[in-house]
Amino acid sequence: MEKYILYLKTSPLGLKYLGKTTKDPSKYIGSGKIWLRHLKKHGISTDKIKTEILFETDNLEEFKIKSKEISIKLNIVESEEFANLKIEEGDGGDTSKHINYDNPVFHKKGRADHLNGVGLTEGERKKIFTERSKLIDYSNPERIRKIKDNTDWKKLIENRNTDYSKFLNIVHEKNKKPVLQLDLEGNIIMEHKSATDAVRYLNAKKYSSSTITNCCKGKGETALGYKWKYKK
């Protein structure tokens, strides 16, 4: 007869995960999204994880009652120590469908500070990160490749899916300050979207737009043979 096992796993960095399995809990790594992301991020293998069996039974209904009771007692959803997104009720499946994003815990600033060494001394942080680096298998060619790929900024730029140049162009357009081009008598000749556009319009390539903005800020009288002011 199939046995239902409620296990508690603890990573070397202190994060915990409560889960259900019908397999060998010492070999089963767990299925929670945050839990698996944590293990992948820090390169933690199964043999480094502490596993405890809290309850086991061949009665599914009994398991559901007990696992819910233990989940509430340990406060696994609210506690920062746990990676669980929902109470363990023995139903399994995709936990992301059960996430309550209205729960304040998902918007709590610094929720993962205890994993990143926030509030610790420099010496304590170094000790934590040194221990983490020991968990990385540097003899594994695939691991070395991933480390290199993730630190090679040129390759990251080539492979990124988002074209940030388009995004930056939109930002630059929004941040443009209209400038007024005036003759030496102070009469308005033309309005330009920005100092850069004015330089481009006057075909004054050897001049920087800062020569115009300096006039607009009162740091100069004229630039390129004209007076300049911000429109507003």
Domain match, 17 and 107 both: yes
Burial grade of 99 (CB within 10 A; 0-12, 13-18, 19 or more): middle
Domain match, 33 and 92 both: yes
CB crowding 150-160: b at 16 or more within 10 Å, else e: eeeeeeeeeee
Task: Answer positive or negative: Cα dihedral of 10, 6, 88, 93.
Answer: positive
Domain match, 138 and 206 both: no
DSSP label at residue 229: E
Q: How many domains does the chain have?
A: 3
Domain match, 11 and 100 both: yes
Domain match, 100 and 199 both: no
Domain match, 73 and 141 both: no
Q: Is residue 49 part of a domain?
A: yes
pTM over cut 0.75: no
Neighbours of 172 (CB within 10 A): 11
Q: Which of 159, 188, 222 is the last residue of a domain?
A: 159
Q: Which of 71, 90, 111 is the last residue of a domain?
A: 111
**What's residue 152's pLDDT?**
67
Domain match, 30 and 86 both: yes
Q: Is 56 helix (H, G, I), strand (E, B) or coil?
A: strand
Domain enclosing residue 128, as ranges = 122-159
Whether 63 contacts 55, CB under 8 Å: yes
pLDDT in tens, 94-140: 555 555 556 665 566 666 676 667 778 888 888 887 887 777 777 77
Give strand pairing partners of 5: 21, 56
pLDDT in tens, 56-96: 999 988 999 999 999 999 998 888 889 888 888 876 545 55
Domain match, 98 and 12 both: yes
Lookup: tokens for 70:
């233990």
**54 pLDDT more than 90:** yes
Domain match, 105 and 127 both: no
Q: Is residue 45 part of a domain?
A: yes
